[in-house]
């Protein structure tokens, strides 16, 4: 299995070339430096989740467009096969489960947040919604000026076009499944 940062680099390069964009163009669209984009495309850098979100939002594509492989009729995501993107010094990890596909308009992840961790997510494009299903622990979600406690066994839905923050104030690792839905599938990739 190819390392995830290598897939990201190949897919970013292919998307950029298919749109006739230079590294300068993509840097301008995303706010990510030309040097960093070049490193990502070559597979020399393992970008953070925040950098990847800036890229996908700037290009108007889904997150998993950067990590997807060939589609098949049946896909099983097993823990041993999942690679993660980590932030907050490894205390916040996302494991891509199923990539975005035009026919289903969503992508999904397993997210693990260690006790005491807080992760701020930049706004997604208009029309993007998140559905979170908490499997373990208690997730605190801040959306706008409101905070919500979402315990294990519960779910929450919100429009993701404004900043939102995930927190774990508990003593137990929090795990949740995230489904990110794109209302405007044609603009995703």
* Domain presence at residue 10: yes
Are 27 and 114 part of one and the same domain? no
Domain of residue 59, CATH code: 1.10.260.40
Are residues 100 and 166 both part of a single domain? yes
Q: What are phi and psi of 175, to 5 degrees?
A: -130, 135
User: In percent, how much of the chain has pLDDT > 70?
Assistant: 90
The model scores a pTM over 0.95: no
CA distance 20 to 170: 48
Cβ atoms of 167 and 139 closer than 8 Å: yes
159 and 105 fall within a common domain = yes
121 and 147 together in one domain: yes
Q: How far apart are CA 150 and CA 147, in angstroms?
A: 10
Residues 181 and 90 in one domain: yes
Residues 87 and 54 in one domain: no
CATH code of residue 129: 2.60.120.10
- Count of structural domains, the chain: 2
* DSSP-based three-state secondary structure for 91: coil
Quick one: three-class SS letters along 2-54?
Answer: CCHHHHHHHHHHHHHHHCCCCHHHHHHHHCCCHHHHHHHHHCCCCCCHHHHHH
Pick 7 or 75 by higher pLDDT.
Answer: 7
Average pLDDT over residues 82-95: 86
Gap between the Cα atoms of 50 and 185, Å rounded: 22
Instruction: Indicate whether 92 and 157 sit together in one domain.
Output: yes
Range of the domain at 15: 4-66
| 140 DSSP β-pair partners | 149, 167
pLDDT digits (tens, 9 = 90+) for 120-149: 998 888 899 999 999 999 999 999 899 999
Contact 133, 177 (CB under 8 A): yes
Question: Does some domain include residue 90?
Answer: yes
CA-to-CA distance for 85 and 37, rounded, in angstroms?
17
């Amino acid at each position: 299995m190819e390392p995830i940062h290598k897939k990201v680099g190949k897919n970013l390069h292919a998307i950029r070339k298919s749109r006739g964009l230079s590294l300068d163009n993509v840097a301008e669209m995303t706010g990510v430096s030309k040097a960093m984009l070049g490193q990502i495309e070559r597979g020399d850098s393992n970008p953070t989740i925040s950098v990847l979100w800036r890229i996908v939002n700037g290009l108007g594509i889904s997150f998993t467009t950067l990590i997807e492989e060939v589609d098949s009729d049946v896909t099983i995501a097993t823990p041993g096969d999942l690679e993660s993107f980590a932030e907050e010094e490894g205390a916040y990890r996302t494991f891509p489960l199923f990539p975005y596909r035009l026919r289903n308009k969503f992508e999904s992840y397993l997210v693990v947040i260690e006790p005491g961790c807080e992760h701020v997510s930049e706004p997604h494009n208009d029309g993007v919604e998140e559905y979170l299903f908490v499997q373990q622990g208690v997730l605190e979600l801040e959306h706008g000026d409101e905070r919500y406690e979402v315990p294990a066994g519960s779910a929450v839905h919100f429009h993701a076009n404004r900043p939102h923050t995930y927190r774990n104030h508990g003593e137990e690792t929090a795990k949740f499944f995230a489904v990110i839905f794109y209302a405007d599938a044609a603009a995703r990739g």
